[in-house]
Amino acid sequence: YEFWSRKGTRLFDGFAGIIGFITVLAGGTAIVVTQLMSVTSRIKEFAILKSTGWKNRHIFTNVIYESLTLGILGAIIGLGLGSILVFFLSTGNSPFGTASAIITLEGVLEVVAYALGLGILGGLYPGIKASRVRPVVVLKGE
């Protein structure tokens, strides 16, 4: 019995790892797409900022801060929904029955770390694209 129990636990951990990886991939992709759309729609704004003296690093940093904000907001919403789900599953008010799950400080810190990492990684390409805007070309309309 112990052998099958450990095997089932490893199998569950493997599935949880795969689902976690897919979730991180989807979250990162969502941040990149959102930031690319934002940068593309504000390309004239970046061109005007550069023509008035903003440096590439200022624009890049601005985009990174925006994507970090998206990542942190996603983490806060995810932690909130997860906490509600854990509460309902552990109190027995769920139609799925009861489950034993706890929220640890380590888990919360992992979520925040993933959010910060995804925010930075998700903002790199859009930030580079925004910082490389050539004001003359954009404002001329080419």
The tens digit of pLDDT for each residue in 3-32 reads: 556 666 777 778 878 888 898 888 888 888
pLDDT at residue number 1: 47
pLDDT at residue number 59: 94
The tens digit of pLDDT for each residue in 57-105 reads: 999 999 999 989 988 998 899 899 988 888 877 776 666 666 666 778 9
pLDDT at residue number 86: 80
Closest CA to 35 of 129, 141, 133, 116: 129
The tens digit of pLDDT for each residue in 29-40 reads: 888 898 899 999
Tokens 């983490």 label which residue?
75
DSSP state of 94: S
48-58-35 Cα angle (round to 5): 80
pLDDT at residue number 142: 62
Q: Cα 78 vs. chain centroid, distance in angstroms?
A: 10
DSSP state of 91: H
Mean pLDDT of the chain: 84
